[in-house]
Structures are given as structure tokens and as C-alpha cells.
């Protein structure tokens, strides 16, 4: 390793340490911090964010990048250091356009906004969150202004989460996908409906928690390098490959949501725990993109966790824990129930057939916010109108409508489309996985997930951000992000369940 690369990695390591310290404070704020600590926490996050930004955007970093580009000119696509240089250069060119004072201000605003969102959701009162969201949207537009004009202003935001993806690309993918999903939902609605009342009985929270962790361990989540906590809106966060944490929540009226929330976040965590340790304290030590990350969470939650093979193994165990609630419930009935298609107000509880419609709704609203075509105060009404248009239902209150997701409170505008893109990638990978592991279904039915995790480790996880997301998908599956495998997966699954 050259002296210049050592110098660059030294700076990157310090920036990484500062960013992870920020993440620890963020994790604490959402898990254990007392509410009155919000103002001080905002100041702490602002200070760390400013120092990290200034350190990374120092002219010395720019000079090192320029010198190293000459050194690695002509390096092959498999070179780790060349990949690191590519990612650092991209991040640096974006970061130098953003003033450190803006980074500090954004940290303070979003810290206060999160606490306001928690209160607003608890009281189901959007007006509590409204002034904070107004500041966030103003900051978002200001952030966009730091960059050269793009084909669409939303492109600047989307690129932060899905490098290289354009708003027009997402609109086209969603435009092709929506009518196919709407038609599938129409056919399901006309079929004999699934009964799932036994899933909504009273289930002991602690027992479900323990069962959820049991499954996470079976999947391969290493609790010696992680932990699970309870929050208002579940998330996964990583401070290193050896400290990857997950969170979940309990809903008394929908108790199984705890299990699937844990499985979703476990999918994210398995990705982070599987990234090469040689990338630690560098920008490569993260998932390739949000779509790739969501492909992992959605795969372990749905393609595995809602499969008949999965429940062939785990249902007997669950029935022992809850003998009264699940008395006389057989495998087919339970499998059908956890895959029931029914429009729901809450995105994270949506079935696979309707889930993407929730994302398309959010994408439309975010684009309207960026374009300045909607007033913040009108969001609850706009949200409810679009819910009626997309899903045929109207939320009864703000908590089940516009306030349900945490993302806007921490400034993550441009994020939502990656959930649906992740669904598509998960199905593409799943086709390839089943081709490479022909007896995968049988292995899962025996509670064996080692071959699946090993495949993901060697094909996806280990590379972190080494490859461009679309390039990695094509490298593995032979094509870039494509909706066809996902449509086929949904059609086959629900044809079996609903007899279409």
C-alpha cells in the first residue's frame, strides 16, 4: 500500500469513527434517551456532524484523491483500493458542495423533529410535527440547490440512497409495475378470502419477543455482535461489522408484526455482519445501496419468513408456545393467513401484493414536496386522498396515515422508492439462489439456513459498497433491476393461495 493510500485511509478511519459515534447517539435517542435530552442531543449530533464533514472535505483529501487516481489508473474492476477510491471520490465531490454549517443545522433540526414526530404520532396530531417538517423540506430544497441542476431536482436526493438511479428510471419501473399489481389485487379480491382471525388474538409480548430472537439466531444473526431493542419505528444500525443492532416493536392488535419486523431488520443486519472486515473504517463498509439493503431485509422477512417451508419447520414450535391461540390451526391455514392480501393503512404491515403501492404513494408525495406543489399543512388530506386512490381505504387518523413512518423526521427524503426496488432485487436474487441451491425449500423446511446465508455472504454481503449497485445485480443475476421475477413470484404465490 502506497504512503498516500495509507494517509487517505487514516483520514477515512477518523471520519468513520466520528460518523459511528453519531450513529450511537442516534440509536440511543430512539431507544433509551429520556425525552428531555433532545435539545442537548441535537447539539451533540450537530457538533460531531460538523467535525466529520470538515475533516472529510479538507483540501488534503482532495489532493490525495487526485494523486491516487493517477496511481490506480487502469486498475481492474476487482481492485479493492480502486473501488474505495471511486466511492471516496464520488462522496467527496458531493460533500464539498455542502457547507459544514448546513450539516450542523440539519442535525439539530432533525433531532428536534424526531422527538416532535414521536409526540405527534402518539397523539395522532400532525400539527405538532408540521413546523418541523416545514424546516426539513426547506433544508431539503436548500441541499438540492448546492448541486448542479439535474434532469429532475429529486434526482439529487435519490442518488444519495441509490447511486446512479434517476427519478425517470424509478417512474418507468413503477409505471410498468403498478397495473400488473393492481390487476393481481383485483383477481385476489374476487376470490375466496383467507381467514386470519387467530393471528389477532392476544399473544404474550415476551414470548413473541423470545421466539423472534430464536428465529433471528437460526437465520444466522450473531447476537455476540448485535442486540435487539424496542422502538416506535423499527430500524437496523451498524457501528462496525462486529456491532450491528436491530430493533422491533409490538402491536397488541397485530402481534405477529413483531416477528416480521424482527425478521426484516435481521435481513439488514445479516448484510452488515457479512461485509468484509478488511473494509472496516472505510466507506466500503456499508451495503451497496438502499435497494440492495432492502432486498436482503425483504427476502428474509417475506421470501423466507412467509414461505410454506419456513412455517413447516417453525409452526410446531410456535404452537407449543401459544397452544390456545393456535389450537387446530394447520400449516396451510397458517401459511395462508400470514400471506393474506388486504389493503392496510400501515406500510410496514402491508402484504406483499399491496406493499409497493404504499411506496408509489410516498414517491409521488415526496416529488410534489420537492417541486413545491403541495403545502405541508395539506399533507394529511393529500395522504388520505392518495390512500383512497391507491388502496381504496382512508386512514381514520394521522397516526395511521401521514405520521406512520419516521423517515421524514430525520430528513430522509428520497429514500422510499428503494423499498420497492429492493422487492424487485430480492426476487431476482431468489431466482438465481434457487437455481444454484435446488433443494433450498427442503433445507428451509428443516430449519437449515446455512446454504442460503453462505450464498448471500459470498455473492452480495462481503462486497459492501465495492461495486455499483446495478452492476452487482447484473453481475449476479445477468440483468439490471427488473420487475419480471417479482411479478412472477407474486402471481405464482397468490395463485396457489387464492386459487386464481
pLDDT tens sequence across 426-458: 999 999 999 999 999 999 999 999 999 999 999
Distances (CA, A) of 27 to 47, 157, 269, 469: 17, 23, 14, 27
Residues 6+ apart with CB under 8 A from 268: 236, 246, 287, 293, 296, 297
Report the C-alpha gap between 330 and 336 in whole angstroms.
10
Q: Is the pLDDT of residue 384 over 90?
A: yes
Q: What are residue 243's DSSP bridge partners?
A: 240
Cβ contacts of residue 169 below 8 Å, gap of 6+?
A: none
Would you say residue 70 has pLDDT above 90?
A: no
Q: Which CATH architecture has domain 167-498?
A: Orthogonal Bundle (1.10)
| Positions marked catalytic | 265
Confidence of residue 73 (pLDDT cuts 50, 70, 90): confident
Q: Is the dihedral of CA 453, 455, 458, 462 positive or negative?
A: negative
The residue written with cell numbers 430522509 in the block is 412
Q: For 162-215, write each residue's pLDDT tens digit.
A: 998 999 999 999 999 999 999 999 999 999 999 999 999 999 999 999 999 999
Q: What is the pLDDT of residues 389-404, one digit of tens each?
A: 999 999 999 999 999 9
pLDDT at 62: 96
Q: pLDDT grade, residue 81 (50/70/90)?
A: very high
CB-based contact 291:244 (threshold 8 Å): no
Cell of 132: 418541523
Contact 158, 417 (CB under 8 A): yes
Cα–Cα separations (whole angstroms), residue 23 to 96, 100, 114, 270, 279: 22, 18, 14, 18, 18
- Answer whether residue 71 shows pLDDT above 90: no
DSSP-H helix ranges across 322-351: 331-338
pLDDT at 320 over 90: yes
Each residue of 20-65: pLDDT tens digit? 999 999 999 999 999 899 899 999 999 999 999 999 999 999 999 9
Q: Is the pLDDT of residue 74 over 80?
A: no
**Mean pLDDT for the chain?**
95
Please, which pLDDT band fits residue 378 given cuts at 50, 70 and 90?
A: very high
Domain with CATH 1.10.1370.30 in the chain: 167-498
The pLDDT of residue 75 is above 80? no
For residue 445, what pLDDT is reported?
Answer: 98
Cα separation of 251 and 404, whole Å?
Answer: 13
DSSP helix/strand/coil, 75: coil
| Of residues 431, 281, 424, the one with CA closest to residue 355 | 424
pLDDT value for 500: 86
Mean pLDDT confidence for 274-279: 97
Rg (CA), the chain: 23
Q: Over 80: is that where the pLDDT of 142 sits? A: yes
Looking at residue 77, what is its pLDDT?
A: 76
Amino acid at each position: 500500500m502506497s504512503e498516500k493510500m495509507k494517509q487517505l485511509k487514516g483520514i477515512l478511519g477518523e471520519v468513520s469513527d466520528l460518523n459511528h459515534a453519531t450513529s450511537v447517539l442516534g440509536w440511543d435517542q430512539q431507544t433509551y434517551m429520556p425525552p428531555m435530552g433532545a435539545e442537548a442531543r441535537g447539539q451533540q449530533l450537530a457538533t460531531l456532524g460538523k467535525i466529520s464533514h470538515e475533516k472529510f472535505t479538507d483540501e488534503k483529501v482532495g489532493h490525495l484523491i487526485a494523486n491516487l487516481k493517477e496511481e490506480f489508473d487502469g486498475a481492474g474492476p476487482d481492485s479493492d483500493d480502486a473501488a474505495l477510491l471511486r466511492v471516496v471520490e464520488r462522496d467527496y465531490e458531493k460533500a464539498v458542495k455542502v457547507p459544514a454549517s448546513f450539516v450542523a443545522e440539519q442535525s439539530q433540526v432533525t433531532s428536534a423533529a424526531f422527538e416532535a414526530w414521536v409526540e405527534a404520532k402518539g397523539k395522532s396530531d400532525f400539527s405538532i410535527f408540521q413546523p418541523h417538517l416545514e424546516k426539513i423540506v426547506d433544508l431539503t430544497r436548500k441541499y438540492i440547490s448546492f448541486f448542479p441542476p439535474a434532469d429532475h431536482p429529486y434526482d439529487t436526493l435519490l442518488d444519495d440512497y441509490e447511486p446512479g438511479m434517476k427519478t425517470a428510471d424509478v417512474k418507468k419501473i413503477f409505471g410498468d409495475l403498478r397495473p400488473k399489481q393492481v390487476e393481481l389485487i383485483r383477481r385476489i379480491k374476487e376470490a375466496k378470502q383467507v381467514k386470519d382471525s387467530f393471528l389477532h388474538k392476544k399473544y404474550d409480548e415476551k414470548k413473541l419477543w423470545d421466539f423472534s430472537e430464536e428465529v433471528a439466531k437460526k437465520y444466522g444473526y450473531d447476537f455476540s455482535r448485535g442486540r435487539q431493542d424496542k422502538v416506535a419505528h423499527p430500524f437496523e444500525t451498524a457501528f462496525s461489522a462486529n456491532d450491528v443492532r436491530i430493533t422491533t416493536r409490538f402491536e397488541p392488535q397485530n402481534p405477529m408484526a413483531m416477528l416480521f419486523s424482527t425478521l426484516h431488520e435481521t435481513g439488514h443486519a445479516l448484510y452488515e455482519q457479512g461485509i468484509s472486515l478488511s473494509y472496516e473504517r472505510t466507506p466500503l463498509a456499508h451495503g451497496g445501496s438502499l435497494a440492495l439493503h432492502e432486498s436482503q431485509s425483504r427476502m428474509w422477512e417475506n421470501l423466507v419468513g412467509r414461505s410454506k417451508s419456513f412455517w413447516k419447520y417453525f409452526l410446531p414450535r410456535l404452537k407449543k408456545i401459544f397452544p390456545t391461540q393456535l389450537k387446530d390451526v394447520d400449516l396451510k391455514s397458517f401459511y395462508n393467513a400470514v400471506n393474506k392480501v388486504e389493503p392496510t393503512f400501515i406500510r410496514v404491515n402491508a402484504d406483499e401484493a399491496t406493499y409497493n403501492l404504499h411506496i408509489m404513494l410516498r414517491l409521488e408525495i415526496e416529488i410534489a414536496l420537492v417541486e413545491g406543489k403541495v403545502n405541508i399543512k395539506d399533507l394529511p388530506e393529500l395522504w388520505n386522498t392518495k390512500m383512497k386512490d391507491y388502496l381504496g381505504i382512508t386512514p381514520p387518523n394521522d397516526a395511521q396515515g401521514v405520521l406512520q413512518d419516521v423517515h421524514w423526521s430525520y430528513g430522509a427524503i428520497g429514500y422510499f422508492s428503494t423499498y420497492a426496488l429492493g422487492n424487485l432485487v430480492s426476487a431476482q436474487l431468489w431466482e438465481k439462489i434457487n437455481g444454484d441451491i435446488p433443494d433450498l425449500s427442503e433445507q428451509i423446511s428443516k430449519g437449515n439456513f446455512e446454504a442460503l446465508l453462505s450464498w448471500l455472504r459470498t455473492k452480495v454481503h462481503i462486497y459492501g459498497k465495492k461495486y455499483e449497485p446495478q452492476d452487482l445485480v447484473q453481475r449476479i443475476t445477468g440483468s439490471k433491476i427488473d420487475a419480471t421475477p417479482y411479478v412472477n413470484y407474486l402471481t405464482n404465490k397468490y395463485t396457489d393461495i387464492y386459487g386464481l
